[in-house]
C-alpha cells in the first residue's frame, strides 16, 4: 500500500535568500511555533492554522469581501474587518479583494509539491554552495514533512538546513538529523525564569536538545536574536558563550539584530505588538555584543 505523502501549512517559499544558511538558498516557512517571543518578527507563523490578515490602510470599503463571505466573518465599518472567531480562512474574501487589503497566511502543501518548487532553483544552489532551508514557525513541529522534503533534496544533491528554536521533542530531531546538513539553532536567554517570561517556554529542553545535537556530531550554527533589554546584556552573552564552549566542537554564533519589519503583520492579524517600545540597536551596541563573544573565545558573526 502506498504511503501517504506528508503535508504542512506553508506560508511562503522564498527564493534567493542569503541570510538563512550558506550560499543562495530557498527558504520554506512553516506555520506553528511553541514559543511566543516578545520580539517575534513572523507573527503569521505562530498559529498552526491558516489565517486571514487585513491591511486597513489598503481597504477601500467596497464591500466585495463581505458579499463573498459565507460565514459572516467580515465586520462592517472602518474597524478591523476580520472576525477571527467565525473566519474559516477559506480565502474567498481574499480572492474578491481588488486592493490586496486581505491576505491569506498559509496553504496546505505536500512535501512533494514543495520539493518540485524548490528544485527549480538548483542551478543557483550548485553555483553558490546553497540549498534549501526550512524555517517557521518551528519546523520540528512537522518532522515527517521535513524528513520527506529533505530526503528528496538529498537524493537530488541539494543541501539541507533546518532553522529551529530547539523547543521540540527529541524524537523530532532524531528523525530529521540523518537528512539535515546544518542546523541553525536559536539561543535566546540563558536565565530560565527570564526565558519563560520573554518566550512563554522553559529553556531546559532547548539546551538539552543543543547538547544532543552536539553529541551526535551535527553541524550547528547557533543564532541569537539580539534584542535590546531582553537578550543583549553582557551577563546573558557571557553565559551563552560559556554554554556553547561547554559543547566542544568549536561552534560559532550568529547575531540577529532586532528589527521592526514584523510590525505590520501584527496589525494585519489584529495582534498586540509587544515590541512596539523597542528601537533597533546601534552599530556600536551590536559590535560590543560581538566583541564580548570573541573575548569569551566564541566565533561570532553578525547577520546583515
Cα dihedral sign for 261, 267, 270, 272? Answer: positive
The torsion region of residue 157 among left (phi > 0), alpha (psi -120 to 50) and beta comes to left
**How far is C-alpha 241 from the geometric centre of its chain's CA atoms?**
23
- 262 exposure class (CB count in 10 Å sphere: 0-12, 13-18, 19+): middle
Smallest Cα–Cα separation from 255: which of 212, 278, 221?
221
Express each pLDDT in 63-98 by its tens digit: 999 999 999 999 988 889 999 899 999 999 999 999
Average pLDDT, whole number, for the chain?
96
pTM of the model: 0.94
- What's the pLDDT tens digit per position in 146-164? 999 999 999 999 999 999 9
Confidence (pLDDT) at 87: 95
Mean pLDDT of 90-118: 96
Residue 235 parent element (H or E): helix 234-246
pLDDT of amino acid 304: 80
C-alpha to C-alpha distance for 99 and 114, rounded to whole angstroms: 28
2 pLDDT above the threshold of 70: no
Q: To 5 degrees, how large is the angle CA 277–CA 282–CA 288?
A: 120
Q: Is CATH 3.40.228.10 the right assignment for the domain spanning 51-105? A: no
Query: What is the domain partition of the chain in residue ranges?
Result: 7-47+109-302, 51-105
- What is the per-residue pLDDT for 11? 97
For the residues 246-260, what does the mean pLDDT come to?
96
Query: Contact, 266 vs 295, CB < 8 A?
Result: no
Burial class (CB in 10 A: 0-12, 13-18, 19+), 97: buried
Residue 149 is predicted with a pLDDT of: 98
pLDDT in tens, 48-65: 999 999 999 999 999 999
Q: Nearest-5° angle of CA 280, CA 134, CA 206?
A: 70
Residue 129 has pLDDT above 60, yes or no: yes
* CATH architecture for residues 7-47+109-302: Alpha-Beta Barrel (3.20)
Residues in the chain, total:
304
C-alpha–C-alpha distance, residues 263 and 4, integer Å: 38
* Mean pLDDT to the nearest integer, 269-294: 96
Model confidence band, residue 112 (pLDDT cutoffs 50, 70, 90): very high
What share of the chain has pLDDT > 90, as a percent? 95
Q: Which helix (H) or strand (E) holds 68?
A: helix 64-68
Q: Which pLDDT score, from 0 to 100, does residue 243 have?
A: 98
Report the percentage of the chain scoring pLDDT > 70. 99
* Residues in CB range of 134: below 8 A, 6 or more apart: 27, 28, 30, 146, 149, 150, 161, 162, 163
| 24 neighbors 130 (Cβ within 8 angstroms) | yes
Rounded Cα–Cα distance for residues 87 and 298 (Å): 48
- On the question of pLDDT at 1 being above 70, the answer is no
74 half-sphere exposure, CB direction, 13 A CA radius: 24
Amino acid at each position: 500500500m502506498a504511503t501517504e505523502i506528508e503535508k504542512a501549512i506553508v506560508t511562503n517559499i522564498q527564493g534567493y535568500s542569503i541570510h538563512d544558511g550558506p550560499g543562495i538558498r530557498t527558504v520554506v516557512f512553516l506555520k506553528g511555533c511553541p514559543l511566543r517571543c516578545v520580539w517575534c518578527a513572523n507573527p503569521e507563523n505562530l498559529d498552526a492554522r491558516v489565517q486571514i490578515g487585513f491591511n486597513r490602510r489598503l481597504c477601500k470599503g467596497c464591500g466585495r469581501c463581505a458579499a463573498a463571505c459565507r460565514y459572516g466573518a467580515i465586520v462592517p465599518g472602518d474597524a478591523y474587518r476580520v472576525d477571527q472567531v467565525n473566519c474559516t480562512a477559506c480565502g474567498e474574501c481574499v480572492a474578491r479583494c481588488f486592493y490586496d487589503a486581505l491576505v491569506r497566511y498559509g496553504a496546505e502543501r505536500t512535501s512533494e509539491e514543495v520539493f518540485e518548487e524548490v528544485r527549480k532553483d538548483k542551478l543557483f544552489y550548485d553555483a553558490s554552495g546553497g540549498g534549501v532551508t526550512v524555517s517557521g514557525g518551528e519546523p520540528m513541529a512537522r518532522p515527517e514533512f521535513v524528513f520527506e522534503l529533505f530526503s528528496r533534496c538529498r537524493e537530488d544533491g541539494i543541501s539541507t538546513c533546518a532553522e529551529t528554536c530547539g523547543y521540540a521533542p527529541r524524537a523530532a530531531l532524531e528523525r530529521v538529523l540523518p537528512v539535515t546538513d546544518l542546523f541553525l539553532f536559536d539561543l535566546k536567554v540563558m536565565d530560565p525564569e527570564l526565558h519563560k517570561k520573554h518566550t512563554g517556554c522553559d529553556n531546559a529542553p532547548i539546551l538539552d536538545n543543543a547538547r544532543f545535537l552536539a553529541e551526535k556530531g551535527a553541524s550547528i550554527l547557533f543564532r541569537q536574536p539580539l534584542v535590546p533589554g531582553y537578550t543583549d546584556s553582557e551577563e546573558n552573552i557571557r553565559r551563552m558563550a560559556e554554554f556553547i564552549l561547554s559543547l566542544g566542537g568549536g561552534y560559532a554564533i550568529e547575531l540577529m539584530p532586532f528589527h521592526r519589519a514584523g510590525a505590520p503583520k501584527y496589525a494585519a492579524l489584529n495582534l498586540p505588538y509587544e515590541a512596539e517600545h523597542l528601537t533597533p540597536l546601534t552599530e556600536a551596541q551590536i559590535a560590543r555584543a560581538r566583541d564580548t563573544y570573541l573575548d569569551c573565545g566564541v566565533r561570532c558573526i553578525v547577520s546583515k
